[in-house]
Chains A and B, each alone.
Chain A
Amino acid sequence: MSTSGEFGPVQVAAQAGRDTLIANAALPGGRVGDAIVRFTAGDRTNHWIVALAFICTALSGLALFHPSLFWLSNIFGGGPWTRVLHPFFGLTMVIGFAFLVFRFYGYNRMTAADWRALPHLGEVEAGRYNAGQKLLFLLWMTCLAVLLVTGFLFWRPYFAGYFPIPLIRVAALLHSFFAFVLISFVIGHVYFALSVRGSIWAMTRGTVTLGWAWRNHRAWFREVTRAARTRSGTD
């Protein structure tokens, strides 16, 4: 691993590829040191586009779901604007998530070992993603696929007119249910992001410390360090 001194810490992090070991990286608490790039600038941009679109979609959807939350429609300029914007927010989220799938699906395939690890999540050495994270990713893919299809079925005024009313009724019910599942598990996602310290740093600055990788994703730590060693051996 070679890092030349003319790059400041932040530049190094911005330029390095995913899963590479870098030196002189900015670390939490103002420290500078070795780190692993967990998310590239592209990964982070993609993630936060989806996150912002999710917030807008969820708030506008909740406004239309329960009368007690109709006041949320004021955020978007009133009831009609909320109705107009919600599907476009949702579409942004789904398209953004499709890019996340393109980036991260490969890491999130459930293996036989993952299924075995599921009941002992804290005890087994996790790869880049542990079995719970992989299941969450697959759950979100499912939710967003159902939300996309059912959403089109009652998107007025553009598409709903082409579908029979009994189908629209079922679509509306499924849309609400899968949105509820999605929102509930996003709450869980946010909880873990906040409570597992260093995760927010990973999704805002891109890097994690070696200790973080060792503690939370040890199998991934071993892969990254082994790859770095192999590479430095050929330099």
Chain B
Amino acid sequence: MALQSLDIRRRSATTLPPPGVRDAATAQVAKLIDTSKCIGCKACQVACMEWNDLRDEIGTNTGSYDNPPDMTDKSWTVMKFSEYENPHSGNLEWLIRKDGCMHCEDPGCLKACPSPGAIVQYANGIVDFQEENCIGCGYCIAGCPFNVPRLSRRDKKVYKCTLCSDRVAVGLEPACIKACPTGALVFGTKQDMREQAAERVADLKSRGFENAGLYDPAGVGGTHVMYVLHHADQPGLYSDLPKDPRISPAVRLWKGAAKPLALAVMGLTALGAFFHYLRAGPDETTERDEEEAAQARKAAARAGSDRPGAPPP
């Protein structure tokens, strides 16, 4: 790779490691989404559309501020609005979460993908789909613990947030970060973002949100998109953000032990059959079989009854 920022750490459906001489000098990046600062203006959605040249179809109002109601192949990030009546304070809280790819450190999509190089993880942690290698099988949709990849009806390829890997590669922040008017979205090294989040969490706690915290789920090795939540103990309040996301055990087995085991057993079955044949030889019908058969046929004809033929003399 010509650009250090595009060094690849993981590559889908690839059994040998990618080039790895250049040690991870590139810092791990992260986007921090502070739900307590978000006003739901959707500037991030618009910036995403503009930078990525996406124009989704005009949909229909489903009775909420979510527009479109869910992510699509052309809407890689969507503001999700939840109304929550806090039973402790009695307040109505409007919990707004910018939904999109979480850029897992251990990406389920990449694990599930059968096409070499259709999903890569860069050295900086960004998980990116390379649509020209995508075969449209949708395994990544089954692999993702956050239900993020979207299969396009037009070209049968999957799409999702790239964390603006093209911008990040040349030292720019993602388009959504640039557009956010309140500073709810910030971008930097993962370490810096964790420190920034710690300050915000301390501040929220001092304001009475005692369960405020950082969402960086360990079940997927941490994520390169993190949330500051007022109610980190109940991420489900934020439009069903999973509490303990992890790659499904079924996917782990399917894309883990099952692959080499099944291949080995099938290969050994074929090899075993070949060598058994080599040693034991074929089972051939002999002249003696033919003679015995002919005699049995005659004997049966002589017997003239419907009882099974007598054994040959």
The reply to whether B151 and A214 contact each other, CB–CB distance below 8 Å, is no
- Per the bound structure, the CA–CA distance linking A160 and B150 in Å amounts to 12
Q: In the complex where A70-B13, A154-B138, A213-B293 touch, is A172 in contact with B282 (Cβ < 8 A)?
A: no
- Per the bound structure, the CA–CA distance linking A187 and B258 in Å amounts to 19
The reply to whether B269 and A187 contact each other, CB–CB distance below 8 Å, is yes
Is A169's beta carbon under 8 Å from chain B? yes
| Cβ distance A102 to chain B, nearest Cβ, rounded Å | 29
- Per the bound structure, the CA–CA distance linking A66 and B294 in Å amounts to 52
Provide the residues of chain A in CB contact with B253, threshold 8 Å: 173
Q: Mark A205-227, 1 if CB is under 8 A from B, else 0.
A: 00001111111100001100110
| Cβ distance A183 to chain B, nearest Cβ, rounded Å | 6
The reply to whether B309 and A226 contact each other, CB–CB distance below 8 Å, is yes
| Cβ distance B196 to chain A, nearest Cβ, rounded Å | 33
Of residues 99 through 151 on chain B, the ones whose CB sits less than 8 Å from some CB of chain A are 114-116, 133-139, 141-142, 147, 151
Given A78, A83, A180, which contacts B266 in the complex, CB threshold below 8 Å?
Answer: A180
Is B23's beta carbon under 8 Å from chain A? no
The reply to whether B283 and A191 contact each other, CB–CB distance below 8 Å, is no
Provide the residues of chain B in CB contact with A180, threshold 8 Å: 258, 262, 265-266
With both beta carbons as reference points, the residue of chain B lying nearest to A161 in the complex is identified as B151
Is B286's beta carbon under 8 Å from chain A? yes
Is A46's beta carbon under 8 Å from chain B? no
Of residues 164 through 179 on chain A, the ones whose CB sits less than 8 Å from some CB of chain B are 165-166, 168-170, 172-173, 176-177
Is B292's beta carbon under 8 Å from chain A? yes
Given A184, A190, A210, which contacts B297 in the complex, CB threshold below 8 Å?
Answer: A210
Q: In the complex where A68-B263, A165-B142, A184-B269 touch, is A170 in contact with B250 (Cβ < 8 A)?
A: yes
The reply to whether A191 and B137 contact each other, CB–CB distance below 8 Å, is no
Of residues 255 through 313 on chain B, the ones whose CB sits less than 8 Å from some CB of chain A are 258-260, 262-263, 265-266, 269-270, 273, 276-277, 280-287, 289-294, 296-297, 300-301, 306, 308-309
The reply to whether A66 and B263 contact each other, CB–CB distance below 8 Å, is yes
With both beta carbons as reference points, the residue of chain A lying nearest to B144 in the complex is identified as A165
Provide the residues of chain A in CB contact with B141, threshold 8 Å: 160, 165, 168
The reply to whether B296 and A172 contact each other, CB–CB distance below 8 Å, is no
The reply to whether B142 and A210 contact each other, CB–CB distance below 8 Å, is no
With both beta carbons as reference points, the residue of chain B lying nearest to A168 in the complex is identified as B142
Is B51's beta carbon under 8 Å from chain A? no
Among B133, B262, B292, B301, find the residue whose CB has the most chain A CB atoms closer than 10 A. Answer: B262
> What are 27 A-to-B residue pairs whose CB atoms are below 8 Å?
A63-B114, A65-B262, A66-B259, A67-B13, A69-B263, A80-B135, A82-B135, A83-B135, A157-B156, A161-B151, A170-B250, A176-B258, A177-B262, A180-B258, A180-B265, A187-B266, A194-B282, A195-B282, A196-B283, A197-B285, A209-B290, A210-B293, A211-B292, A215-B285, A225-B300, A225-B309, A229-B301
- Identify the A interface with B (CB < 8 A): 63-70, 73, 78-80, 82-84, 154, 156-157, 160-161, 165-166, 168-170, 172-173, 176-177, 180, 183-184, 187-188, 190-191, 194-198, 209-216, 221-222, 225-226, 229-230
- Which 9 A/B pairs are nearest by Cβ-Cβ distance? A211-B290, A79-B135, A214-B293, A211-B289, A67-B13, A210-B293, A191-B273, A156-B138, A169-B250
